[in-house]
Chain A
Amino acid sequence: MSSMSENPYVPVFAKVIDVRDENPITKTFRLRMVNGEALRFRPGQFDIISYFGVGESAFSICSSPEEKNVFENTVRKVGRVTTALFNVKPGETLGVRGPYGKPWPLEKIVGNDLILIGGGMGLAPLRPVIHYIAKHRDLYGSVDILYGARTPSDMIYTYEFESWRNIPNTRLYLTVDYVPPGVRWEHDVGVVTELLKYVKPRMRYTTIFVCGPEIMMKFTAQLLLRMGFYPSEIFLSLERRMKCGIGKCGHCQIGYKYVCKDGPVFNLEEIGLLPDVIE
């Protein structure tokens, strides 16, 4: 994204062109830059959205990287900024900075099989990967998508699940922790790692991308290591408090790594021994 200003803290305006309800506390905002430029991003990168008067928050960019003039952010109502965003309607204007951070290493793993493991909102940074694979299907081997949420109504992007299943050589497995009475659920019940029983990975030809709550990533990483995967084959997308996105405000540090510029996607090998992560 180029900007009139050299000042990296100055957002540009983006118009909300659509708002989709994902579930009662989650919405996806479709945005277009007012200056007509594209937010050229790669899957796994994030942006920082401004609701002027309330503040900024960092979000995974969750749309297809192939879409040039629009981009999407999925927002769960959990804090001050996200609560303000929740009332935003199509036609309103927000601020955006970015894209920031290191993406998933999609170029480096061409030819490999992929296992994508998402927990709750952690599906957001994996969605651009799925869209990218759908467009460039011959670049990768088999793809397994494992998605878990607390309850069926906590899931996001459910309206796309059928089209994901229709991507050649791609399977989608779903699980929830709990099915409320009266809710129809034809998939698994249990933690997301249990879905790994459906996958028969070709060892040394498989790469795993994981995003979800830190505790879920911890247990997933432990199980994957027990299954014989190398730390170098496991990639995690981490969440930390961020105030700048450019390695100045200090908040997102984990050991000597900055999540905003060295991540948010990390190889398990590079963060496995750092404190305050996956402990």
Chain B
Amino acid sequence: MSGKGDGLRPFRIGQIISAILLNAYILSYLQHKIIYTGFLKSIPEPILNCYGGPLSVFACPIGSFQQIIGIRQIPWLPIGVFLLVGIVVGRMACGWVCPFGLWQDLLNKIPAGRKSWLSFTLIALIGAVLAAGLTALLKAPWWRVYLYGWLPFTLVALLFTRLGNRDIPARMWLGGFLASIGLSLLVWFRLGASLGVVIGVVAMVLLSLTGRWFAAITAAIAALPVVLIGPTLHLGPLSGMVLAIVSAAVLAAIVLILDRAVKVTLPATYLKFAFLLIIAVVVAWKTGEPWFCKLCPQGTLEAGIPLVLWDPQGGLRDLVGWLYYVKVGILLLVVLASISIKRPFCRLICPIGALYSVFNKFSFLHLKVSSTCKTCKLCTKVCPMDIEVHQNANQLECIRCLECKYACTPRKVQAKF
């Protein structure tokens, strides 16, 4: 794999520098202060970097956005920052500045497919060592950590490393998507907002990574909790379990029929708009809490895990509950998915990426492909977002890393202001 494309590119240098600068508050360790609380924490940075992290210097824009929405106000400052950055450079900040993009890029360097056994063994061993450390630090029963933590982790690692490098399926299934939303709302109303949001998010992520049959099965499973509302609807024989089974069958059929006959489709990458609108706007407004932050894998990586492991003032470990384990599970899923899929979080989930992507077509900085392009597809091969650059260089997913520009030896791809 060594070759021209593996050198340290300008965007990679930008990623490394920004990851260090945005997380440069080492005094937190030296002074035993948990997080930085100075003036800079009032300023939203332009990318995803958790403000709850012990090293974090600035405020996360999507966290700030939700917090202001949570108190029923319009987040003018974060919207202004998104608009300003978006209109000047489009989604370039995702490629050049975002630390979570860097982590995903590095994870994608782990060999999958043909060298999968080597990767799998390494991942399983690292997982075992981490589990041992976790057992000692949290004084948790070792069998529970291995049974509920390490074992599922290694099984999913086996799946992703065997799959090899592949693209996200181009389409996701509308029926399954709606069923996920329905399931989420149902669980929300019956069992509370927390469980509802978590189930909706997990279902949508699963759906976006899968195909028609899995979507149909998920839709059917999603319909089963109708059993909960059956008795309250007074439908006679169609109450309870009968109603649930009928709903499950109908939903599964709808998913299959829509996909095969009507071809109603929704590209998987539009999923991040659902996360933006539903989780970061509607749920934040409704519950007054930043639910995207509560589940954000970047938050778990930069704040959740370090704070609980470090716990300088004591007491944080006692706060660990079921939501913490869900967060760690989501992080592990994103980590493992990043091995075989390029930037899955950026393409499917990130609400900041969704916001910036809208500006790609109008931003001052834009890519231009020469009309004399020979369509050798070298640009697509090096693209970290798997874009067909020669067809549409400024599509929503382009993070303006300029890999295509450097890879195109005849210089047919240009970045212009």
- Do chains A and B stick together as partners? no
A interface, CB within 8 angstroms of B = none
